[in-house]
């Protein structure tokens, strides 16, 4: 046996399952976090604006409450709280402006950035406009403004007065950042936790595989028990496949061992007999006796040859039934060739083949079936001779379609096989008669081949004496 160099080399390693899983998850989480950041950022800005806008409009409202008209002048008395309440955003600068009809500044910063407002005429007298918010650059900082309109209608003055209050955005940005941080921090922590879980989880999940590999590594070379380690459902099919493989290997090796044992046992006796015959022949001085001895040697040798052939044939059959090489072939053709191989040209035995079909396509192993048919026909020729010989000694082979398959019968005119022997005869090294020349393997081979094709074999008595071997085979299935 050549040395198996390959066994020590590891299978090529692709990237680790764990790294692959964790990388994929990390990328997924990263993408998710980016999306979350954008969403949360927008949300945070909106939430911060919403809460501080209330403060801003509250301030503007409290200023607007104090608006009054004195003669033709707009008066406003800014409450302390109006600006002080804005120090809820402690770091933010505050700007305000009150301006009346025709943009005239009543009080406050007269250079505040304006905002397009509807002209006084366009507003219905009953209309109380909602405060309007907008951002603008002022004195080097981004400022959030609110603009609130009030309609004044006094004898000296009619029209709209606007209160504009602005506040820099520091507190808003800070609140928005806090909201973003508050939302993203748990997500980031969860991400890290999940990655860690995946990292260790893979290790845990693969632990049964480790146990299996340790089990296999510990075994001695002849230990072919199936794997018993309990494994998760996901790994089940792999372990089942491995167990199937181990079982086949076991069966093969057992078969091989049995075969070698049988072969050794079967060959030893005829070989010893052959040697004894040869020695006897050598010891004879009489040429006549010597010739008789040599004939005996020749007989034993041919028997041994037949035995060895059958043994090899059986080995071949065993091998091929284990590795099902099924293909399409024509059964008629196979039968014809088998008959041609087996029937000696010079012999006076008559072998007839009648086929009910011109072609019998079927699926199977043509070589095996050919071997089986050869064995049956051979048996029929060898055992089918009646004592004394009759004129109508013939072997008839018939092939007929049956139930989508075929029925192949081989009939002889021999002494037949008793009903008691009909099951025993299919076992290895069992012969119909103790003195018959076969090795007792023929029908065992046939039985094996037919079984591997899902067929059936039957022995029945032939009308008018003899035995009929009847094979039922599937067709294209």
Partner 1 sequence: MRWRWQVSALLLWLLPALAAVGEIYPARSVPAEGTLTLYSTLDTAVFEPLLVDFQQLHPGIGVRYENLDARPQYERFVGEADAGIQSADLLISTSMDLQVKLVNDGYTLPHGSVSADALPSWARWRNEAFGFTFEPAVMVFNRAAMGDRTIPQSRAELIDQIRRDPEFWRSRIGTYDISKSSVGYLLASQDVRLSNEFGALVEALGDVDLQVEENTSTLLERIESGDLVAGYNLLGSYARARPDSNRNFLLVYPRDHTVVLSRTVVIARNAPNPALAHKFLDYLLSVRGQRVMAARCGLPPIRKELDGVYERLGVNESQIGVLRPISLGPGLLVYLDQQKRRQMLDAWRAILGPTQ
Q: Which residues bind partner 1 (CB under 8 A)?
A: 75-84, 86-87, 90-95, 106-108, 139-141
Cβ 103 to partner 1, closest distance in Å? 17
443/431 Cα distance (integer angstroms)? 9
What are the C-alpha distances in Å from 292 to residues 92, 236, 272, 286?
Answer: 131, 68, 18, 10
Q: How far is the CB of 92 from partner 1 (least distance, A)?
A: 8
CB of 177 to partner 1, least distance (A): 18
Nearer to partner 1, 67 or 439 (CB): 67
Select 87 or 279, whichever has its Cβ closest to partner 1.
Answer: 87
In the complex, what is the shortest distance from the CB of residue 190 to partner 1, in angstroms, rounded to a whole number?
Answer: 35
Residue 368: burial class (beta carbons within 10 Å; 0-12, 13-18, 19+): buried
Instruction: Count CB neighbours of 310 within 10 A.
Output: 21
Q: From CA 275, how far away is CA 255, in angstroms rounded?
A: 30
Location of structure tokens 């200023």: 63
CB of 154 to partner 1, least distance (A): 17
Comparison of 65 and 398: residue with beta carbon closer to partner 1: 65
Dihedral through CA 384, CA 387, CA 390, CA 396, nearest 10? -10
Nearer to partner 1, 136 or 251 (CB): 136
Residue 467, beta-bridge partner list:
461
Residues in CB range of 206: below 8 A, 6 or more apart = 17
Q: In angstroms, give the least distance from the CB of 151 to partner 1.
A: 20
Output 109 or 353, the one with its CB closest to partner 1. Answer: 109
The residue (of 76 and 471) whose beta carbon lies closer to partner 1 is: 76
Q: What distance in Å separates the CA atoms of residue 322 and residue 316, rounded to the nearest whole number?
A: 10
- Which one, 19 or 81, has the nearer CB to partner 1? 81
Q: Is the distance from CB of 281 to CB of 296 less than 8 angstroms?
A: yes
| b/e sequence 159-190, b meaning 16+ C-beta within 10 Å | ebbbbbbbbbbebbeebbeebbeebbeeeeee
Taking a C-beta distance cutoff of 8 angstroms, is the pair 331, 405 a contact? no
- The residue (of 86 and 366) whose beta carbon lies closer to partner 1 is 86
Long-range contacts of 47-52 (CB under 8 A, 24+ apart): 47/175, 47/176, 47/179, 48/171, 48/172, 48/173, 48/175, 48/176, 48/179, 49/133, 49/144, 49/172, 51/175, 52/89, 52/144, 52/167, 52/171, 52/172, 52/175
Q: How far is the CB of 126 from partner 1 (least distance, A)?
A: 29
Q: How far apart are CA 201 and CA 105, in angstroms?
A: 70
- Closer residue to partner 1 in complex, CB, 156/244: 156
Give me the least distance between CB of 173 and partner 1, in Å please: 14
Query: Closest approach of Cβ 146 to partner 1, in Å?
Result: 15
Q: Which is nearer to partner 1, 138 or 353 (CB)?
A: 138
Q: Least distance in Å: CB of 142 to partner 1?
A: 13
């Amino acid at each position: 046996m050549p040395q198996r160099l390959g066994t020590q080399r590891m299978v090529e390693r692709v990237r680790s399952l764990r790294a692959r899983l964790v990388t994929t998850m990390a990328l997924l989480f990263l993408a998710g976090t980016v999306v979350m950041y954008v969403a949360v950022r927008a949300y945070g800005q909106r939430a911060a604006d919403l809460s501080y806008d209330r403060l801003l409009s509250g301030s503007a409202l409290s200023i607007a409450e104090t608006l009054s008209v004195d003669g033709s002048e707009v008066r406003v008395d800014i409450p302390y709280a109006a600006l002080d309440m804005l120090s809820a955003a402690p770091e933010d600068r505050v700007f305000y402006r009150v301006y009346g009809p025709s943009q005239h500044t009543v009080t406050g910063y007269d250079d505040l950035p304006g905002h397009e407002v509807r002209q006084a005429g366009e507003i219905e007298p009953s209309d109380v406009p909602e405060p309007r918010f907008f951002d603008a650059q002022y004195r080097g900082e981004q400022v959030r403004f609110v603009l609130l309109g009030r309609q004044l209608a006094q004898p000296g003055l009619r029209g709209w007065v606007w209160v504009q209050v602005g506040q820099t955005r520091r507190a808003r940005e800070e609140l928005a950042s806090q909201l973003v941080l508050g939302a993203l921090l748990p997500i980031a922590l969860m991400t890290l936790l999940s990655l860690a879980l995946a990292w260790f989880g893979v290790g845990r999940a693969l632990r049964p595989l480790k146990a299996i590999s340790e089990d296999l590594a510990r075994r001695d070379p002849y230990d072919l028990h199936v794997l018993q380690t309990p494994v998760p459902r996901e790994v089940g099919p792999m372990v089942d496949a491995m167990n199937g493989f181990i079982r086949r290997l076991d069966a093969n090796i057992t078969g091989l061992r049995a075969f070698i044992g049988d072969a050794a046992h079967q060959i030893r006796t005829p070989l010893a007999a052959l040697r004894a015959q040869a020695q006897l022949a050598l010891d004879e001085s009489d040429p006549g006796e010597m010739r008789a001895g040599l004939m005996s040697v020749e007989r034993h040798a041919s028997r041994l040859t037949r035995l060895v052939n059958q043994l090899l044939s059986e080995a071949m059959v065993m091998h091929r039934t284990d590795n099902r090489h099924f293909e399409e072939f024509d059964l008629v053709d196979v039968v014809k060739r088998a008959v041609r191989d087996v029937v000696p040209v010079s012999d006076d035995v008559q072998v007839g083949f009648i086929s009910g079909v011109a072609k019998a396509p079927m699926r199977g192993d043509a070589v095996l079936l050919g071997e089986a048919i050869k064995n049956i026909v051979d048996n029929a020729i060898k055992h089918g001779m009646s004592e004394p010989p009759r004129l109508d000694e013939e072997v008839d082979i018939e092939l007929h379609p049956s139930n989508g398959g075929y029925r192949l019968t081989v009939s002889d005119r021999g002494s037949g096989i008793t009903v008691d022997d009909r099951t025993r005869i299919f076992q290895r090294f069992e012969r119909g008669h103790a003195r018959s020349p076969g090795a007792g393997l023929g029908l065992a081979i046939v039985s094996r081949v037919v079984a591997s094709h899902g067929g059936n074999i039957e022995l029945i008595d032939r009308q008018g004496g003899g035995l009929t071997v009847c094979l039922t085979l599937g067709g294209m299935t």
